Chains A and B, each alone.
Chain A
């Protein structure tokens, strides 16, 4: 079974440029997460989707970040314009929200963004 797929794996851009990251979750997973991982830190949740609906976006900086999950499958995270401080790894994860009280999150390899 294929895992969570993210692209690109690496991206280098100049500040003020836009950038987009793409995530394809594990087939059948209805919940999708975007995390930000700064160097030397643990991941921090940016946004969580249940199917097409963003159910937790309280940590997403909405002035420059946006996300979408059309048709409840793939998702795109966009930054416009990028700032130097956005250099980090952006992780996507997915899970199947069923009847269990906890549903394991499976992580993709991440996209490493460098803003120059």
Chain B
């Protein structure tokens, strides 16, 4: 079985500052890991994913995440926050070969001008 824990339901950062959203996972098999973004009244959009290979993955809008097996973490970062990054972010996990996604509870990111 898989599970995801997102630390911090709300994160506020100043425009131009580093964004760090935390995600820890639990999986009994090698995991696939994802970050999704959800803007108000919209569906989820895939930011980036880790399946196999390079542990540092780059996504859209300047975001990246690093898979750390020893820490069971997949934290999302962006060097410089932009006002348009304000949204809800979800970390998700699935087992290899299984498309069922298990989501965390989400982190609401607020950007302070």
Contacts and interface: CB of A to CB of B under 8 A. Distances in A.
Q: Which of A31, A43, A44, A56 has the most CB of B within 10 A?
A: A43
B99 A107 contact: no
B101 interface: yes
Contacts of B92: 42
A104 B105 contact: no
B51 interface: yes
Interface string B38-76: 000111111001010000000000000000000000000
Central interface residue in B41, B46, B51, B99, by most chain A CB within 10 Å: B99
B103 A42 contact: yes
Nearest to B52: A101
Contact of B32 (A43, A45, A93, A102): A102
Nearest to A107: B43
The main secondary structure of chain B at its interface with chain A is loop
A105 B45 contact: no
Given A42-B90, A101-B96, A4 B43 contact: yes
A98 B104 CA distance: 27
A108 interface: yes
A102 B51 contact: yes
B44 A43 contact: yes
B105 to A, nearest CB: 6
Interface string B75-94: 00000000000000010101
Contacts of A3: 43
30 contacts: A3-B43, A4-B43, A9-B41, A40-B105, A41-B106, A42-B90, A42-B103, A43-B101, A43-B103, A44-B103, A45-B101, A48-B100, A56-B100, A91-B43, A93-B43, A93-B44, A95-B99, A101-B97, A102-B32, A102-B51, A102-B94, A102-B99, A104-B46, A104-B49, A107-B43, A107-B44, A107-B45, A108-B43, A110-B41, A112-B41
